[in-house]
Chain A
Amino acid sequence: MANRILVVDDDELILIALNELLTPEGYEVHTVSSGAEALGRIEKYGYDLLVLDIIMPEMDGLELCKRIRQRENCKETPIVFLSAKSRHEDKAKGIDAGANLFLSKPISPNKLLRIILDTIG
């Protein structure tokens, strides 16, 4: 069974690009564009990896991350922030919110694939 990845980003282009990138690699990719939707999906499905943007309308990525970590079934799920932010304090905030990794946009597709592979096989 293929590993299932949820990508949360308010930018449609990112969602499309990651779907295009990851699906051929054999991952089951779900994409949503808001925190609320993301929580709904997590309720329904179990995910092997969550990729979250930070800057989003209504609920930002950090808030979303904290909410997810509060759920019993998601305590161990790897969470990666993929954000346009790149400063140290932003990274620290991301880790504090419960993420496993903080990646800055833009990231080279190869690097991203390698990191995902290293994380969930």
Chain B
Amino acid sequence: MPIPPFRDWKIRAKLISVTLFVVLLPLLCVAYLSIDRFAKALKDASDEDLGHLVRSVYTMCEVQQQMALDKVATDLKVALEFIYGPGREVRIGDVFLARDTHFVDKVQDLVGGVCTIFQRIEGDRLLRISTTVKGKDGKRSIGTFIPPENPIARSILAGNSYKGRTFVGDDWYIKAYEPIKGRIGNVIGALSVGVKERSAHFFEEEIKDIKVGDTGYIYIIDSKGTLRIHPAKRGEDIIDSRDSSGFEYIRGMIQDALALGDGEVGTIRYPWINPELGEKAARAKINRFMYFRPWDWIIVAGTYEEEVYHSLYETERFILVVVIAGLALLFILIITLSKVLTRPIQELTEVTAKMAEGDFSQRVNVESGDEIGLLGRSFNRMIGQIEGHTSNLEGMVEARTRELKRSRGEYRDLSRFLNNILDSATEYGIVALDFYGKITEFNTGAEKLFGWKREEVLNEENVGITITAEDRKRGIQKEMSRRTRTEGVCELEMARVRKDGTRFPAHTIVTAIVDQSGKTTGFVEIIRDLTARKILETELRKTKEFLENVLESSVDGIVTTDLKGKITYMNRAMEQSLHFQKEELLGKHISGFYLNGIQQARDIMNLLREVERSENYEMAVRRKDGKILSIMTSLFLLRDEHDQVIGTAGIFKDITEQKRLEGKLKETQAHLVEASKMRALGELVAGVAHELNNPLMASQTILHVILNNISRESPERNRLELIRKCNERIRKIVEHLKEFSRGTDHEFVGVDINRPIEDALMITQQQLLDHNISVHRNLSEGLPQVLGNLNQLEQVFLNLISNARDAMDEVEGTKELTILSYLAEDEASGAVCVSVKDTGMGIPKNDLDKVFEPFFSTKPVGKGTGLGLSLCYGIIEAHSGRLEISSQLGEGTEVRVILPLPESRKE
């Protein structure tokens, strides 16, 4: 909770805090300073205690050392006197005293230490020649020497004595050396005496008994880290010991100690956990130490700091308790005082606050006669007056408030309603703008559309951020604003910009917001994304174009109509086959070009209603120029998306040409069949004719002989004559058959086809007249010549005319024979055609394909041989032409002779 500024504090709080501050600060300063000073002094005293302990041990050592040295010096003097004493000629050098231990043992008896005699040998080395020192094996340590560079040797050889520690045998000794001089004063050897250093340590037990604090003690280590004196661990090597923080404090201490000057005390502090006592937390330890160089001793006094500072802590605690108690007392006094001072003010404040809330019934309870009491009484009077005024006002305000509440409710409803509209129009971006285009409302739809968040743009951005730079440059905003103001609304399609810079097509409507005075204060813009619609439009257009292309490139005609049969669409193929332009037929009724008109259209509609679609429906239509086309159509109903029939569609295939070709093919096939049939017949007939010749000839000849032989009056002659006639008829038949089967051949020359026709007509003219037959002839002039035989062709036409005449014999009424000759244009390679047509009784359909066969006749027996047409057929076949016959029963028959032109024949 933030602390309010001081001026906002309650008066009481101010009073208390200032007082506390003024009193408390000096008090705490004094307490702190005194504790600090006192602690420092105590601490120094404690440290010094430890230092004293160490120093006293150090002094003990010094004394001990000095005593040992003094003893050795005395011992040496004894030994020297013993050597140089009266009556004792000791010769060293000339006499080898190597194994004589008498002397040294004597010295030992006298002084109690050790004694050794050295002899100077070559190389200035000092050889031990006699000693009391014994090695571990119990033998005396002789035979070894001190090298000349040793300080002892150097000192002796220079003729001086030497004192110091040496390691002899298996122990350290404090020793004194004295040179032994020869007669001429030269050094010839040395004498040494010593006391075992350990003997100097008799005070070890004393040191062990010294206690430091409760649990501290004194111990001694050498510079290698070996414990020389320790209450429990003497001889242990503790050089690698670490404190609880991992620091090798022994090593550190040794380093410090070696650097100390004589009589200086070092200090080291380290944390320590004593696992042997089951301790978990480290406690601070303090070690004070001195270095006693002669013995390589580091004398250490160590203990826990808390033990040393115990009394210090007690004192501190006491001071603190006193300070806190003083503070508490002070606090209570201040609070009480402030309460008494501020209570009337507090009360005044509370009453004022209640009054501000409208409660005028409260009065200040004032008893004192000071300034505050006076204030309270004036205040109470003022409340009374205000109370009177207020009750009047309250009535008015109450009424006004009710009114406001009601209209605010209405406003809230309306506002909620409008907000709902704004927020639910998610597909429409609705943006409200002030007069200058600054965005004042931005609904969810707009957020979605433009990618801006409402908070980002509201009252921050101009609507220009959603308009493309080009449009802005063109001043479109001004234009839109102008149109909206003058026309009330502005509606257009334009590109808009999203927050990420992408554009999209949009539809926008801008309306003006007008205040009561009719002034435009802003605008509302409703924007709709047209992207989807644009895509759809494009796709729709593409699909439409595609379909139209397909329809237009179809080779079959395609037509659609509405339900009334009016043409609504027609493709190019349909235009082309009907020779109509689209414009001429669109909107017209489809039956317009049906051959069977409206009836056909009705039939189709009825059919479609029944079967939905019909394929291969054949019908005929009339082209613009009147030509009739055969059409094969596929028809179907068109339905809309609700499956309602909305029209019909038809695919029209023009099969006129196909039909014509089919007809022609059939005809050709018929011709071929006919031709092969006739050829087979021809061969048969030729064979028969040939075989008949011999018996016929024999018969004629024999008959001739008989007729010659019998008498002219013989009654048999008539009968034989009858046989002769029979023979003659047989001969004729055989002759015809031979002609039919091309048994004979003739020379072909260029012939004008009209000539044999004229000849035949000339011969039969009279006959035809006799039979009341009128002849119409229409022979084309200048026809190309055909190759043929004039006589044979004449024979053909004679036969045909004769047949026509016979056909009209029985007919009542008009008897007409029409003969035409013309160029047959529809023949592929060019041909001349002659048509012989009568108005006779006609030939029944069944008989029509038999008429060319030999012996087929409809005439009464005896009237015809049945060979006339077959003979014609044979002749025309021989001319590479063909005969065609068509007949309508009761109306007449037409025979056409078609002869190819010579050019084509060559091919």
Which residues from chain A contact B731 at a C-beta distance below 8 Å?
Answer: 106
Known contacts A84-B690, A88-B745, A13 near B695 by CB under 8 Å: yes
Interface contact A87-B694, CB-CB below 8 Å:
no
Interface contact B701-A109, CB-CB below 8 Å:
yes
- Interface 9-residue window, one of A17-25, A26-34, A66-74: A17-25
CB contact list, A92-121 vs B, under 8 A: 104-110, 112
Distance to closest chain B CB from A22 (angstroms): 9
Interface contact B745-A106, CB-CB below 8 Å:
no
Interface contact A20-B705, CB-CB below 8 Å:
yes
Most A CB contacts (10 A, CB to CB) among B697, B704, B709, B744 go to B697
Check B693 for interface membership: any CB of A closer than 8 A.
yes
Given A84, A86, A109, which contacts B704 in the complex, CB threshold below 8 Å? A109
Distance to closest chain B CB from A114 (angstroms): 12
Distance to closest chain A CB from B709 (angstroms): 8
Which residues from chain B contact A24 at a C-beta distance below 8 Å?
Answer: 705, 708-709
Check A42 for interface membership: any CB of B closer than 8 A.
no
Known contacts A105-B693, A106-B693, A16 near B704 by CB under 8 Å: no
Which residues from chain A contact B700 at a C-beta distance below 8 Å?
Answer: 106, 108-109
Given B694, B702, B708, B709, which contacts A84 in the complex, CB threshold below 8 Å? B694
Which residues from chain B contact A39 at a C-beta distance below 8 Å?
Answer: none
Interface contact B744-A105, CB-CB below 8 Å:
no
Which residues from chain B contact A104 at a C-beta distance below 8 Å?
Answer: 693
Interface contact B705-A14, CB-CB below 8 Å:
no
Most A CB contacts (10 A, CB to CB) among B690, B693, B694, B700 go to B694
Distance to closest chain A CB from B576 (angstroms): 59
Interface contact A87-B698, CB-CB below 8 Å:
no
Which residues from chain A contact B704 at a C-beta distance below 8 Å?
Answer: 21, 108-110
CB contact list, B724-750 vs A, under 8 A: 731, 734, 738, 743-745
Which residues from chain A contact B734 at a C-beta distance below 8 Å?
Answer: 106
Give the dominant DSSP class at A's interface.
helix
Most A CB contacts (10 A, CB to CB) among B698, B743, B744 go to B698
Interface contact A86-B738, CB-CB below 8 Å:
yes
B contact residues, total (Cβ < 8 Å): 21
Interface contact A17-B743, CB-CB below 8 Å:
no
Q: How far is the CA of A87 from the CA of B716 in the complex (A)?
A: 38
Most B CB contacts (10 A, CB to CB) among A11, A16, A88, A106 go to A106
Interface contact B701-A84, CB-CB below 8 Å:
no
Distance to closest chain B CB from A43 (angstroms): 27
Chain B residue, CB-CB nearest to A20: B705
Interface contact A106-B697, CB-CB below 8 Å:
yes
Check B80 for interface membership: any CB of A closer than 8 A.
no
Which residues from chain A contact B457 at a C-beta distance below 8 Å?
Answer: none
Check B696 for interface membership: any CB of A closer than 8 A.
yes
Chain A residue, CB-CB nearest to B690: A84
Which residues from chain A contact B698 at a C-beta distance below 8 Å?
Answer: 11, 13-14, 16-17
Which residues from chain B contact A21 at a C-beta distance below 8 Å?
Answer: 701, 704-705
Most B CB contacts (10 A, CB to CB) among A17, A104, A107 go to A17
Q: How far is the CA of A24 from the CA of B704 in the complex (A)?
A: 12
Interface contact B738-A105, CB-CB below 8 Å:
no
Which residues from chain A contact B696 at a C-beta distance below 8 Å?
Answer: 105-106
Give the dominant DSSP class at B's interface.
helix
Q: How far is the CA of A104 from the CA of B693 in the complex (A)?
A: 9
Chain A residue, CB-CB nearest to B731: A106
A contact residues, total (Cβ < 8 Å): 22
Which residues from chain B contact A106 at a C-beta distance below 8 Å?
Answer: 693, 696-697, 700, 731, 734
Which residues from chain A contact B743 at a C-beta distance below 8 Å?
Answer: 86-87
Number of cross-chain contacts by CB at 8 Å: 57
Q: How far is the CA of A108 from the CA of B700 in the complex (A)?
A: 7
Interface contact A14-B697, CB-CB below 8 Å:
yes
Distance to closest chain B CB from A103 (angstroms): 10
Interface contact B694-A13, CB-CB below 8 Å:
yes
Chain B residue, CB-CB nearest to A110: B704
Interface contact B745-A14, CB-CB below 8 Å:
no
Interface contact A86-B701, CB-CB below 8 Å:
no
Distance to closest chain A CB from B426 (angstroms): 108
Which residues from chain A contact B693 at a C-beta distance below 8 Å?
Answer: 84, 104-106
CB contact list, B678-735 vs A, under 8 A: 690, 693-702, 704-705, 708-709, 731, 734
Known contacts A84-B690, A88-B745, A105 near B697 by CB under 8 Å: yes
Q: How far is the CA of A2 from the CA of B704 in the complex (A)?
A: 22
Which residues from chain A contact B702 at a C-beta distance below 8 Å?
Answer: 16-17, 20
Which residues from chain B contact A88 at a C-beta distance below 8 Å?
Answer: 745
Q: How far is the CA of A73 from the CA of B709 in the complex (A)?
A: 37
Which residues from chain B contact A13 at a C-beta distance below 8 Å?
Answer: 694-695, 698
Distance to closest chain A CB from B726 (angstroms): 13
Contact with B along A46-80 (1 / 0, CB 8 A): 00000000000000000000000000000000000
Chain B residue, CB-CB nearest to A88: B745
Which residues from chain A contact B690 at a C-beta distance below 8 Å?
Answer: 84-85
Interface contact A14-B738, CB-CB below 8 Å:
no
Given B694, B699, B705, which contacts A11 in the complex, CB threshold below 8 Å? B694
Q: How far is the CA of A16 from the CA of B695 in the complex (A)?
A: 11
Interface contact A105-B694, CB-CB below 8 Å:
yes
Q: How far is the CA of A10 from the CA of B704 in the complex (A)?
A: 22
Distance to closest chain A CB from B597 (angstroms): 64
Chain B residue, CB-CB nearest to A112: B701
Distance to closest chain B CB from A95 (angstroms): 17
Contact with A along B659-694 (1 / 0, CB 8 A): 000000000000000000000000000000010011
Interface contact A86-B694, CB-CB below 8 Å:
no
Which residues from chain B contact A20 at a C-beta distance below 8 Å?
Answer: 701-702, 705
Interface contact A86-B744, CB-CB below 8 Å:
yes
Which residues from chain B contact A14 at a C-beta distance below 8 Å?
Answer: 694, 697-698
Q: How far is the CA of A110 from the CA of B526 in the complex (A)?
A: 129
Distance to closest chain B CB from A17 (angstroms): 4
Distance to closest chain B CB from A57 (angstroms): 14
Which residues from chain B contact A84 at a C-beta distance below 8 Å?
Answer: 690, 693-694
Interface contact B701-A17, CB-CB below 8 Å:
yes
Which residues from chain A contact B697 at a C-beta distance below 8 Å?
Answer: 14, 17, 105-107
- Interface contacts beyond A14-B698, A105-B697: sample of 13 additional A-B pairs, CB < 8 Å, sorted by A: A13-B695, A14-B697, A16-B698, A17-B702, A21-B704, A24-B709, A84-B693, A84-B694, A86-B744, A87-B743, A106-B696, A106-B697, A110-B704
Those 5 A-B pairs whose CB atoms lie nearest each other, nearest first: A109-B704, A106-B697, A13-B698, A17-B701, A84-B693
A-to-B contact residues, CB < 8 Å: 11, 13-14, 16-18, 20-21, 24, 84-88, 104-110, 112
What are 26 A-B residue pairs whose CB atoms fall within 8 Å in the complex?
A11-B694, A11-B698, A14-B694, A14-B697, A14-B698, A16-B698, A16-B702, A17-B698, A17-B701, A17-B705, A18-B701, A21-B701, A24-B708, A24-B709, A84-B690, A85-B690, A87-B743, A88-B745, A105-B693, A105-B694, A105-B697, A106-B700, A106-B731, A107-B697, A108-B704, A109-B700
